[in-house]
Amino acid sequence: MNTPRPHDLLWLSESNALEGVSEEWGASQWRPQLPVVVRRDVNHEGRIPVGVRGMRRDQRAAGWVNAAKIKRVVSPESLASRELLVKSPFVSMPPVQGAIQLALREWPWVWGITGSVGYALATEVPVLHADSDLDLIIRCPEPVEHKLLLEWQQVIGQLLCRADTQIETPQGAFALAEWLRDGRVLLKTSSGPQLVSDPWMQKGEA
């Protein structure tokens, strides 16, 4: 199994596979039938950093899982399938309709759906509503032309829901809207946020 990446959804083989969650609601609301989501942190001794969500928006907890106890991985990219979207029980909701509009177009990159919409698509648990944001991710291992990203931003600005895009580079992730507006971004990395002008440049490069 490839190392899970941030935003991947993981199903675990047993309830004690989830470690480090002390929140009281965690024991009552999480079970192995529900996924956890990979978060950005430094892996420790073969353990993957994950986040757990409850039914309320404010119920979020950080934990760890042993990679050997992962039985299923669902990527954000797989949730952006037009076939999956149109068959979703949430197909009539604006965030899913927005994702379908994006899936009808050809893009020069791989993109996916994260956040509450991605979780609902993967589990059919009704954690999204008509006003939910559509959280998106674009995998960009190499720099992308500014005008192409601007075109994407213009398209998502015309959807029936609010949409936000994170760009994933080998160095970390950044908010596309911030990049297009300022030319500098707060890059989220495994070792913490960094303010950078080139989010593709490796640390130490000139």
Q: Beta-strand (E) ranges in the chain?
A: 9-12, 18-19, 36-38, 47-53, 60-66, 70-74, 110-114, 134-139, 163-169, 172-175, 185-189, 192-196
Give burial (CB, 10 Å; 0-12/13-18/19+) of 134. Answer: buried
**Residue 135 a catalytic site member:** yes
Give yes or no for a contact between 9 and 71, defined as CB atoms under 8 angstroms apart: no
Active site residue 182: no
| Annotated catalytic residue within 135, 164, 182, 198 | 135
Catalytic residue from among 8, 41, 133, 164: 133
Integer CA distances (angstroms), 84 to 4, 58, 93, 99, 121, in order = 22, 28, 14, 11, 8
Q: Name the residues annotated as catalytic.
A: 133, 135
